[in-house]
Structure 1
């Protein structure tokens, strides 16, 4: 099963075009990031990235998967933000009680 972590790592590699910089951005080791990308490729049954002289290039299917991964990650962030927002909101009836107070003129004496 594809994980959000794998999608985040793939997007990071796509953004940086470099495994080392992507691993740094994700706060993981390069081997850990590389292994997750390989697992993702195996699960999907396609090659997403190609190593080349200038760094990393996305395959044609890799570009489409990254585009969709960005959408998924955006939707997940939106879902989390929505839940966070509703967790803080108070709902239900609000009843206020008022206690009698002295008039200002009574306080001066």
Structure 2
């Protein structure tokens, strides 16, 4: 599965089970935004990362210290290493599916939002 297909799977699950959170997400980045970011950082973004950012701009208003405001819970953890972004997004989709069927011990969907226990 490609990064685009894997991310679409994630966004479909979020839109279906947490429509209020989905509505809060920013739209895609533009090529101009990515070029400006690359210039500021002095690097070229990896192809998969560039593809993903053109679908999902992470310039969120609640970002601080690498954490996304209300989305960050507890201490950072290492969840594993993935061979590709597509593989990582597939694992996110599998986690969202477990949440949707009620088998996640730490998270659930309530009133259109993703809620951490």
State TM-score, norm by structure 1. 0.28
Q: Which has the larger radius of gyration?
A: 1
State TM-score, norm by structure 2. 0.26
